[in-house]
Amino acid sequence: MSTATPVREAAPDTAAASPGARGWTRWWPAVALVALIAVPYSAMPLPGLLDGPIGSAGSLQLLALCLVFGALATGYDLLLGRTGLLSFGHALYFAAGSYATNTFMIEAGLPFVPSVVLGLLSGTALAALLGSVSLRVSGIAFSMVTLAFAQAGSLLVERDPGGVTGGEEGRAIPADKLPSFLAGIDNTANLYWIALAYLVLTLVVVQWAVRSPTGRVWEGIKENERRVEVLGLRPYGFKLVAFVVAGALAAAGGVVHLLLTGGATPQTTTSDFTLSLLVMVVLGGSGSRWGPLIGGVAYTWADQRLGDLAGSGTVAGLPSVLRVPLSQPLFLLGTLFVVAVYVLPGGVARLPQRLRAARAGARRSKRGEAGTAGAQVDG
């Protein structure tokens, strides 16, 4: 009776990364940052992605908006992905930073820098005030309270009390209120760099907060808030910190958006705006380091480019059964989002992890088949 040869223990699925691979993993964000800084100096065209060269004013405007909303989604994920708080009113603090800065410049006649500082403080203070009230409840009740505050803010902007908000038309910034290096189409590159600086600031603040002791408590609250209470910690205070930090980052984004668009717009006050942030985070990957950024950039680019596609002559020449749905940008965005959710569960940021897991599973399957064949031969 023959004895089966023992099967040698399989090697680990993931080999240790080489020093070169580890170095690239560590330094690629710095390389990407340098490339983004140099974007305004590039004349390279990207047909289909941008209308003109990368460094043209129109392309820089679109890229700056992508950076702003990528950063805004990253800040919003402090609530959704890191602390487990589903807020439907995050747009309110974005709009507060924009409208408050604009009002201080126009109505109070303050210079640009003091107006920006007061606008940031106003948005942060509003987040602290409304967060302290909203967080008295949890779950769906919390979401509904934040939605109610957002709706109240949207109605206030539309009613235009004292002619301060401009109502449905918004309120443009007079060119003479801005520093000369921020006014005019010739200075679009400066606005792009400001948007990039806002993105870097948001990423640094979010990563620092997540890795801090407070960030570890946020993770515990997301997983099991009752267990955090048992440990002797009060979740309310930690959740309020997350709410205020996210609100302050949103207010800063509102100021940058004010500069990019040349005014404060009522569209930024609606609950639909917050729903767009939710879509960005889910699309990119909630709770991941780069997912919300990727989702925000991709969603903003698609929103702008699909709007151009919907109004193009190509779509206008299609049969009505195709022309009607394809002429609606929201229909296209919704379709792409549904497809992405089904094809990429967990978001775009987790795609490399899923691919590595699939390759590891395939290798284990092949080794299992080889071991079974060897055992049969020995038998």
Residue ranges of the domains in the chain? 52-369
* CATH 2.30.29 applies to domain 52-369: no
Determine the pLDDT at residue 118: 96
One-letter amino acid at 262 equals: G
Determine the pLDDT at residue 3: 44
Q: What angle do CA 137, 291, 60 make, to 5 degrees?
A: 115
Tracing tokens 């709007």 back to the chain, one arrives at: 307
Alpha helix (H) residue ranges in the chain: 19-37, 57-80, 91-106, 112-134, 140-159, 188-211, 213-230, 235-261, 271-284, 291-310, 313-316, 320-326, 329-343, 351-378
Global pTM?
Answer: 0.85
Which DSSP letter does residue 86 get?
A: -
53 has which bridge partners? 45
> In degrees rounded to 5, what are phi and psi of residue 90?
-65, -25
Q: What share of the chain has pLDDT > 70, as a percent? A: 85
Determine the pLDDT at residue 271: 76
Do the beta carbons of residue 128 and residue 247 sit within 8 Å?
yes
pLDDT, tens digit (0-9, with 9 covering 90-100), for 62-82? 999 999 999 999 999 999 999
Q: What share of the chain has pLDDT > 90, as a percent? A: 45
Determine the pLDDT at residue 23: 54
Determine the pLDDT at residue 73: 95
Do the beta carbons of residue 266 and residue 44 sit within 8 Å?
no
pLDDT, tens digit (0-9, with 9 covering 90-100), for 73-131? 999 999 999 999 999 999 999 999 999 999 999 988 899 999 999 999 999 999 999 99
- Is the confidence at residue 173, as pLDDT, over 90? no
Structure tokens at 3: 């004895």
Nearest alpha-carbon partner for 166 in 95, 220, 236, 231: 95
Higher pLDDT, 333 or 275: 275
pLDDT, tens digit (0-9, with 9 covering 90-100), for 203-247? 999 999 999 999 999 999 999 899 999 988 999 999 999 999 999
Determine the pLDDT at residue 361: 73
205's CB contacts (< 8 A; 6+ apart) are: 75, 245, 249
**Which segment, 23-27, 194-198, 342-346, is predicted with the most confidence on average?**
194-198
Residue 292 to residue 81: CA distance in whole angstroms: 9
Determine the pLDDT at residue 43: 86
Determine the pLDDT at residue 370: 66
Q: How confident is the model at residue 163 (pLDDT cuts 50, 70, 90)?
A: confident
Do the beta carbons of residue 179 and residue 116 sit within 8 Å?
no
pLDDT, tens digit (0-9, with 9 covering 90-100), for 10-53? 444 444 445 555 556 677 888 889 999 999 998 888 887 888 88
Q: How confident is the model at residue 304 (pLDDT cuts 50, 70, 90)?
A: confident
Determine the pLDDT at residue 250: 96
pLDDT, tens digit (0-9, with 9 covering 90-100), for 309-335? 666 666 667 777 666 666 676 777 777
Determine the pLDDT at residue 311: 66
pLDDT, tens digit (0-9, with 9 covering 90-100), for 234-243? 999 999 999 9
Nearest alpha-carbon partner for 75 in 162, 198, 163, 184: 198
